[in-house]
Amino acid sequence: MQGMPQQSDEWSKVDRYVTDILIPKDRHLDRVLETNKAEGLPAIDVSAPQGKLLAQYVKMTKASRVLELGTLGGYSTIWMAKALPPGGKITTIEYSPHHAKVAQSNLDFAGVTDKVEVLGGNALEILPTLNGPYDFIFIDADKENYPNYLPMVLRLSRKGTVIVADNVVRSGGVADEKSVDIRVNGAQKFLHAVKEDPRLDATVIQTVGSKGWDGFALVTVDE
């Protein structure tokens, strides 16, 4: 949104402060970010505090079947995999063959190979081939397709499934009804579609931090 900050040293400083106190140094996760950079992947993974939040959600929901759309290098995947109970499994979908290859090697390095299946390809084509129900679903792939993903992931849900959708605030863009940014429009359509579905209940929490100003939608499937 015009005139609003996209980044702030203070936001990053607080992320570092919180991370230093509450988030134990994890040599796997730190190394994954270095590998991603060396392999030319964009630094659009969740932040460490956000990765920890995803892990906390996996714990809180006692999820043993997790679905992720948009793997990138597997950073968020590894956060969630480490929070799974024994026998828990994540299915994660990644369109880019290069991202999927880097992710698989990162997952192997992190020792979570047995907990994660990386499916290479377009989530729009792969989702109809999957069998649910999943307990926890993290939507983080192409933002313009979020409204298309909603019915597809609901087919793979049950009463009690928790869905988190990343990047629905986009530096405040979501509140601009005149926005022509297709990613912002994707978030707007997604939220309206959630509202129209009587089975769903939801909120959005804005976040600031090392990844700028954005936010998560938290959706529960209540019926």
Contact 139, 202 (CB under 8 A): no
Contact 123, 149 (CB under 8 A): yes
> From the list 48, 58, 67, 93, which residue makes contact with ligand SAH (rule: CB under 6 A)?
93
Find tokens 């849900």 and name the residue. 157
CB of 123 to ligand SAH, least distance (A): 3
Site for ligand DHB in 62-101 (CB under 6 A): 70
**Ramachandran angles phi, psi of 118, nearest 5°:** -95, 120
**204 binding ligand DHB? (CB under 6 A):** no
> From the list 36, 47, 91, 167, which residue makes contact with ligand DHB (rule: CB under 6 A)?
167
CB of 198 to ligand DHB, least distance (A): 29
Helix (H) or strand (E) segment spanning residue 164: strand 162-165
Which of 100, 156, 101, 166 is CA-nearest to residue 127?
156
Q: Which amino acid is at 16?
A: R
**44 binding ligand DHB? (CB under 6 A):** yes
CB of 152 to Mg ion, least distance (A): 18
What angle is formed at CA 161 by the lines to CA 222 and CA 76, rounded to 5 degrees? 140
Piece of the chain touching ligand SAH by CB under 6 A; list 2-10, 91-99, 157-165, 183-191: 91-99
Q: Which amino acid is at 28?
A: H
**53 binding ligand DHB? (CB under 6 A):** no
Positions in the binding site for Mg ion (CB under 5 A): 140, 166-167
Positions in the binding site for ligand DHB (CB under 6 A): 44, 70, 140, 166-167
